[in-house]
Chains A and B, each alone.
Chain A
Amino acid sequence: MLLDRACPEGGWNAGNSEVFGVALDPHPDFTAMALLALRGVLDRNEAIIAKSLDYLSIRLKNSDSLYSLAWGVLALAAWNRRGSDDLIQRLRVRLTTIDPSLVPVRTLALAVIACEPPSFLKSGGQQ
């Protein structure tokens, strides 16, 4: 089902990949979740994986959203994708400059985890 719902240009959103013949845009968090789910199932050279990792790297280049950055870091790190270190650095900077009381706990927790991606994420993927 995940492969069936993949957006034509890579990535995933919360629903269909197209409606009335028009491709829908992917979103970073859902893309990261799908990439994490497919780790160990598909090879990184599979077109959908490569395109989705590209999408994630590019889409998050200018984003400061803790939530999406965190999901992006976890997915990119899981696939040993270069660029995750840059995102981690930005996450850390953001975490030191925000007022934590204004950030939902779920987002804060995700961001903290992503700052030091768990080793099982880095080691378990089929590369």
Chain B
Amino acid sequence: MNRRRILEGGAIGITGAAVAARLWPRAGLPRRQQESVVAILRCDDYATCHKAVEDGLRLLAPSVRGKRVLLKPNLVEYSTKATINTHPSVIAATADSLFRLGASEVVVADGPGHVRDSEMLIDESGLKRSLSEVGRIQFVDLNFDAVHRVTPRGGFTSFRELWLPETVLAADVVISMPKIKTHHWAGVTLSLKNLFGCIPGNVYGWPKNVLHWEGIDNSVAELAATIPIHYVIADGIVAMEGNGPLHGPSRHLGCLVFSNDPVAADATCCRLMGIEPSRVGHLQMTAPLGNASSDRITQLGEPVGALRQSFVLMPEFRHIAEP
């Protein structure tokens, strides 16, 4: 670790709350008042994840009856060498459970940032087969969906407008389903960073560099302020550490994380990885949108401490590790 990183890490740790308050640029944005719920369900393998998903949803009790639910997994690209994407079994189990809870429609949608060929991705990853086994589920490629102009609500970027997919805007309930991973440019990629997949490639190109030019943290915060995430189901059965989101080694974390608040979910996932959430740039910036502090989280299922690990971090992000 060099001196700059030490200074950065120290400063972030000490002044996280103050910085978050200062960075919150648009005063009119509603801040979350109510406490958040996070449930951590132990689950050792994907073959048994259906029960864990059902149990988690029972604890979370999402309001989905009669509603059109959008599942937004993290689909980046398929590799036989790395566990990059939200596992198809978790997505299919979630869709199936939501139908049982009365959802009128379940749509699985993503706009992969690296590949244009979503058909190949969902085929090779096994998602296509998993969804067809459940039935009634439509997959929508957000990269090519019809788009509508939306005014960004956060003021974190120079965007005066955002073109967002109709499928996202039309959903009654949005469930972000990230794979729990470290990220070589953002520190972590969880439910909030997962919103990058809502940016249509057909408008912004591949690999969506416009978001990187605005700053990844700024862009995550802008999207988080603009696109509501109602619930989170994070795939942490097999996670990724080190050089994520594509090339890090797998790390068995053995759990699924459920929440009604993306900030609380991501903060909890950070703690499970041995990362201090207030040191992650976009979590500082989005903190007022939810509850990052464990004092404001009703913790169900397993306690964080029972599953916490110390994930390997890229040298550039060692300062975000918990002290």
Contact = CB atoms under 8 A, between A and B. Distances in A.
A48 B207 CA distance: 23
Given A14-B207, A19-B184, A24 B120 contact: no
Interface in B123-142: 123-124, 141
Given A14-B207, A65-B117, A25 B123 contact: no
Given A20-B314, A24-B246, A25-B77, 17 more contacts: A13-B114, A14-B115, A15-B206, A15-B207, A20-B184, A22-B247, A25-B79, A27-B77, A27-B117, A29-B116, A30-B116, A64-B123, A66-B119, A67-B116, A67-B117, A68-B117, A68-B120
How extensive is the interface on chain B, given as a class?
Answer: 20 to 34
A95 B318 CA distance: 51
B184 A65 contact: no
Interface string B257-291: 00000000000000000000000000000000000
Contact of A104 (B120, B144, B246, B247): B144
Contacts, number: 48
Interface in B66-81: 77, 79
B209 interface: yes
B309 interface: no
B119 A27 contact: no
B226 interface: no
A106 B141 CA distance: 13
Nearest to B79: A25
B123 A65 contact: yes
Interface string A18-52: 01101011011110000000000000000000000
Contacts of A106: 144
A14 B243 contact: no
A89 interface: no
Contacts of A19: 184
